[in-house]
Amino acid sequence: MSTRRDWLRAGLLAAGIALVACVAQAEPVRITILQVNDWDRYEESRGRGGFPRVAALLRAEGAERAEVLVVHAGDAISPSLLSGFDKGAHIIDLLNRLPIDVFTPGNHEFDFGKEIARQRFAQARFPILSANIAEPDGSAFAGLPASRIVEVAGFKLGFFGMTTPQTKEISSPGDLVFSPPIEVAPAMAKKLREQGADLVVAVTHTGFEEDLALYRQGAVDLILSGHDHDIRIMYNGRVAMVESGAQGEFVTAIDLALERIKEGERTRLVWTPSFRTLDTAAYSPDPETKAVTAALEQRLARELDVTIGKTATPLDSRRAVVRGEEAAIGNLIADAMRLAVDAELAITNGGGIRGDRQYPAGHALTRRDLLTELPFGNKTVKLALKGSEILEALENGFSQVEQGAGRFPQVSGMRVTVDLSRPAGRRVTEVLVGGAPLDPERTYTVATNDFLARGGDGYAVFARAKALIDPAAALLMASQVIDYVATRGEVAPTVEGRIVIRR
C-alpha cells in the first residue's frame, strides 16, 4: 500500500499494535472509502467540520480498519475567507497533509480563473482526476489524468473524475471545455474494466439531476458526488450513490465487502456496500493539524477582527434563504452596490453570499463577517440595460428557484412579483421601479458584480450590455459593503417586499 495508507495507520503504529491482513478466502475483503466534498474552510463551525476534526476522523478510521481510501469530490480552493487573499494556496497545503487518494475538481476550483487552478493543481501532492475537462484543442487540462486504478487487498478499484459542465456559467474557467458526464461515464467505465478494474467508481462534482442520470444509466458501480451540499445515500442493489454535505461537517464511510465467487470455470465479483454517516463533532481535533490552522487563524485575525459597525436588525445568510427569497442581508449588499456606483438598480446573485449563518439584532459587524459573506473578490460594475433586458435577467434569476440555484437575484431599487407556478422564463409578473412599471424601452443603469456581468450564472444578457463601469475600473464589492456599513455606523436592513413570490 502507499504511504497514504501508512498515514492512516499511524494511530495504531504509535500504539505498537500490528495490523494483520485477513487472507482467508472464505471471508470477503473489506475496504472502506471515506468521502468528503464541498469543503473550502479550514476552520470548524459550531463544533463540526474543519481540518483538525476531519484529520482526527481519518486517523481513527485508519486505525480501526485495514484498508481505507479517502476521496474528495471537489470544491476546495474557493470561496473561503482566506482564499480571497491567497487564492486557495492554504487549502492545497492543508489537503497535502491528508491521505487523499482521489480528488476531482469542483466548479469553485476555477473561481480565480483557469491559470490559478493550474497552479494549485501543480502544487497538489494527491491524485487529481478529470475525465471531462479539456483545453479547446482537446488536450487534458493541466495534464490531469482521467482515471487511476488503486489495488487494495487483491482487488482493483477504478476511479475517474468528472466536473459539472455548468462550471462554464457559474465559475470562471475561461475557454476550457466540459464534456457531458452522461456521455463520458460509459466510455470511462468500459476502459477501466478493460484495464482489469473489479469495481468502477465515478467521483463527480455534479448536480443532483446529473447524478441521478448517471445513477439510472448504470455504467458505474459507485458514484461519489459533490456540488449540492446534501447528505445523500442511494442504493438500488446495483449502483450506489453518496454525497456528504459540506465543509467536512460529516464524512460518509462506504464500507465495501468484496469477494470472488467461482462458478464452474467462471469467477464473478460479488460486492455489497454499507454506509455510515460520521459526525465530525464526535472527534477531538487532531493536535498537529490544529497547530497549523491556529497559525492561519492568527494571520487572518490581525486584519479581519475589526468592528466596522452594527446591525440593528437580524440578518440571515443561510443558503436556502439567499437562494430562495428576499433576504435582509441581500438588500444590504445590493443597496451598497447601487449607491457605490450611483446606479438606479442593482442585481446580485444569492449564490455569491456565502456566510451561511444568522446574525442577531445588535450584532457588531466586522470585516471578517462581510468578507466571509462575500469571499469571491468580485467587483461592482455598472451596466446600461433596457427594461426588456432587465426583465430577461430577472427571468433567468428566478428560473431555477426549486433547485436552490445561486442565480437567484437579490435586488435594490425595484420591486418584483414572481409566480413560481408558471414555467421558467415566464415567471416575473410585475416589476416596479420608483412605483412605476418597468419600461421595456427605457434604458436604466444597473449595478451588478463582474461575474454576472460576464454572463455568469446564466445572466447572458448582462454580457451583451454596455458597461459604464467595467471590471478594469471597478472596485471590490466587499470593500464597498464594508464602507457602506462603516460610514453609517449602524444599519437596519429588513425584508420589505422587494421580492414577492407566489407559488
Q: What is the CATH number of the domain that holds 284?
A: 3.60.21.10
Q: 408 and 346: one domain?
A: yes
In a domain, 373, yes or no: yes
Domain limits at 257? 3-10+36-293
The CA-based dihedral angle spanning residues 252, 254, 255, 260, taken in that order and rounded to the nearest 10 degrees: -170
In a domain, 127, yes or no: yes
Contact 295, 457 (CB under 8 A): no
In a domain, 243, yes or no: yes
Contact 498, 414 (CB under 8 A): yes
Q: What is the pLDDT of residues 346-382, one digit of tens each?
A: 999 999 999 999 999 999 999 999 999 999 989 999 9
Residue 27: what pLDDT?
87
Longest CA pairwise span in the chain (Å): 81
In a domain, 298, yes or no: no
Q: How far apart are CA 103 and CA 89, in angstroms?
A: 16
Examine the fold and report which residue of 293, 318, 341 is the final residue of a domain before the chain moves on.
293
Q: 274 and 346: one domain?
A: no
In a domain, 27, yes or no: no
Q: 353 and 429: one domain?
A: yes
Q: 179 and 157: one domain?
A: yes
| Residue 437 grid cell | 412599471
Q: What is the CATH number of the domain that holds 414?
A: 3.90.780.10
Q: What is the pLDDT of residues 227-251, one digit of tens each?
A: 999 999 999 999 999 999 999 999 9
For the whole model, what pTM was predicted?
0.80
Q: What is the mean pLDDT of residues 413-424?
A: 98
Q: What is the pLDDT of residues 298-351, one digit of tens each?
A: 988 888 899 999 999 999 999 999 999 999 999 999 999 999 999 999 999 999
Based on the structure, what is the number of domains in the chain?
Answer: 2
Contact 162, 181 (CB under 8 A): yes
Residue 18's pLDDT band (cuts 50, 70, 90): very low
Q: Is the pLDDT of residue 17 over 80?
A: no
29 Cβ contact list (under 8 Å, min separation 6): 22, 67, 152, 153, 154, 155, 257, 258, 259
Residue 4's pLDDT band (cuts 50, 70, 90): low
CB environment 121-131: b (16+ within 10 A), e (fewer):
beebebbbbbb
The dihedrals phi and psi of 486, each to the nearest 5 degrees, come to: -65, -40
Residue 26's pLDDT band (cuts 50, 70, 90): low
Residue 9: what pLDDT?
55
Q: 342 and 378: one domain?
A: yes
